[in-house]
Amino acid sequence: MKRYNRWNNIVGWAVFAVAALTYLATMEPSASLWDCSEFIATSYKLEVGHPPGAPLFMMMARLATMLAPSTEYVPLMVNAMNSLASAFCILFMFWTVTHLGRRIYSAQGRELTDANMWTVLGAGAVGALAYTFTDTFWFSAIEGEVYALSSMFTALVVWLMLKWEEQADEPHSSRWIVLIAYLMGLSIGVHILNLLCIPALVFIYYFRKTATVTWRGIALSTLVSGAMIVFVNNIIIPYTVWIGAQIDTLFVNTFGLPVNSGITLFALALIVVGDVITVVMALLRMKRMPNPMKADLRFAAKIVPFGFISMVTTLMLTLNYRVDTLMMGYLYHIPDTEIGFYSLGVSLSEYGWLIPDAFREVLFSRTAKDDAIEEVTMSMKVNFYLTLLMILGILLLGRPVIRILAGAEYLPAYPVTVMLIAGIIPMSYFKIIGTLLLAQGKKGVYLGMLSASVLVNILCNMLTIPLWGKMGAAVASVVSYAVAGFVFLGYYLRTYSIPLSAVFVFSPAEKAKLMSKLGAVKRKLGKKKNL
């Protein structure tokens, strides 16, 4: 089986390479007929195309256009994205054919011989390459339309269905179903073609989970699949947008609230409804378990406040990161161009958070088991110096990165980036020490300090934005991050009786330990290189 899997991957990627080289070599150098020019132009500026729109395609195409050295090459990059997406469609088609072929030969537990293996791989290669060179698919693969990306999603979903079918009896096999549903939802943001996979999914589920197949079951599966398509296509897709528009109109025209306030509330309501449905389904699933959990009101009384605090904490974090942008737009009516410069500067400066975020992920599980104060202190020291290097990199490469990602017209975002960099170091303390507090169950302390930081951020924005615009918002953010970070640091040093120097200076023992770890990593890399 291992030999088959290895060759299945090798031949599959070879077929992918053939398709990719074919499409990239023959793709349109610019816009072609029909809607291609519209899709290219709207994706480049992240605007809205013709109804019903294709938001996911627009965003992915926008990422592709960022790689263009100039506007002259924007259509070429969108076409190249579609060519690669079509090649991936061919890859998933190959794996679908080989999966079905292998299941035929290995039915009833029969061993797959070498002759059977090469027959299956040959069938997959012939089928996938035959589709590669069909004129309709070829034309879609080389131009800036939505059909190439939609075909890729469709092929991927079909392949994932077969992956689930193969592992349906294993624990946690339902994760494939969740992934399929997620990708089908994403694909709607490209084209609704993927909805046609719903009947296939229903039938695969029915035939796999039903011991005795009957005509009644087949008819019922047909009705269920049809009802699902009608529900998604005729109710969810059109009326979700319509209801959101009506609510936003009510909030703006009747209540006099800012634009998008209604749609924001509607989006939050949808999230809450989704969470409720998830909880209900989880409870129903637990009831079907061999040893179902009994209701424990005392446990619920403990867990509900815990979850509420977590929700409020997440809300406060989001508010602390984005309150300045909201105030600039809704309260002080800063021009959109200035807000755009500021947002880009925020995005660039947040790259400096990568290092403390990495430490946070590693430390959470460890600090939840024990205090591990020495490890946290060591992490803060390493984080401090690595973050300084990251800051230096942002300062040196900020302007070229802005030119590449957004164009020379967005260079006014660089001063904002430089200002916000001053808040990276204290924010790193906030993230690492906050992780320790959360792991130890001190959510109340964490929430209290965070709330104070948010309040400081709002007050500073009220003072600085009217004076200095986007630079004032950057100053307010730095002050807020400094308050949060240094308050957390002070709490940590006082609680655990740690001197301030221990956060910055390595002791001889710590230097030896660090060098030992680096040496171990070097030796490990050397062994891999020799292999």
Summarize the confidence of residues 139-148 as an average pLDDT: 93
Band of pLDDT at residue 98, cut at 50, 70 and 90: very high
Percent of all residues in the chain with a pLDDT value above 70, rounded to a whole number: 91
- Do 141 and 120 lie in a common domain? yes
- Assess whether pLDDT exceeds 60 at residue 236: yes
Residue 494 sits in the same domain as residue 406:
yes
Tell me: pLDDT of 57 over 80. yes
CB 198 within 8 A of CB 188: no
Residue 237 confidence class, pLDDT cut points 50, 70, 90: confident
* pLDDT (mean) for 281-294: 66
- pLDDT reading at 293 higher than 60: no
Of the residues 298, 333, 361, the one at which a domain ends: 298
- 423/316 same-domain check: yes
pLDDT score recorded for residue 34: 80
Q: Which amino acid is at 227?
A: A
Confidence tier at 294 by pLDDT (50, 70, 90) = low
Residue 331 within a domain: yes
292 and 324 share one domain: no
Residue 411 lies in a domain: yes
Distance CA 465, CA 416 (A): 13
| Whether the predicted pLDDT of 74 surpasses 70 | yes
168 and 71 inside one domain: yes
CA distances from 116 to 198, 366, 415, 494 (A): 31, 49, 64, 70
Do residue 294 and residue 314 come from a single domain? no
Residue 220, domain member (yes or no): no
Parent domain of 281: 248-298
Say whether both 14 and 88 belong to one domain: yes
The lowest-confidence range among 82-86, 146-150, 435-439 is 435-439
Q: Greater confidence, 366 or 208?
A: 208
Q: Provide the phi-psi class of 101: left if phi over 0, else alpha when psi is between -120 and 50, else beta.
A: alpha
Mean pLDDT value across residues 216-226: 93
Distance separating alpha carbons of residues 110 and 112, to the nearest angstrom: 7
Residues 361 and 447 in one domain: yes
Q: Can you give the pLDDT at residue 369?
A: 52
**How far apart (Å, rounded) are the C-alpha atoms in residues 379 and 362?**
10
Total number of domains constituting the chain: 3
- Does some domain include residue 531? no
Whether 371 shows a pLDDT value over 90: the answer reads no
Give 439's pLDDT tier (boundaries 50, 70, 90).
confident
Domain C-terminal end among 298, 328, 358? 298
- Local confidence band at 92 (pLDDT 50, 70, 90 cut-offs): very high
pLDDT at 50 over 70: yes
* Enclosing H/E stretch for 75: helix 74-105
pLDDT given at position 160: 95
Domain membership of residue 53 (yes or no) is yes
Q: Is the dihedral of CA 314, 320, 323, 324 positive or negative?
A: negative
50 shares its domain with 95: yes
Q: Is residue 233 part of a domain?
A: no
The CA radius of gyration of the chain, in Å to the nearest whole number, is 28
If asked whether residues 39 and 130 sit together in one domain, one would say yes
- Give the pLDDT of residue 299: 61
Same-domain pairing of 346 and 275: no
pLDDT at 335 > cutoff 70: yes
pTM here is 0.67
Residue 88 lies in a domain: yes
Per-residue pLDDT, averaged over 386-405, amounts to 87
pLDDT of 530 over the 60 cut: no
pLDDT score for 505: 87
pLDDT band at 70 (very low <50, low <70, confident <90, very high): confident
Do 277 and 331 reside in the same domain of the chain? Answer: no
User: Would you say residue 34 lies in a domain?
Assistant: yes
Q: Give the pLDDT confidence score for residue 453 in this predicted structure.
A: 87
Domain limit, last residue, from 209, 234, 265: 209
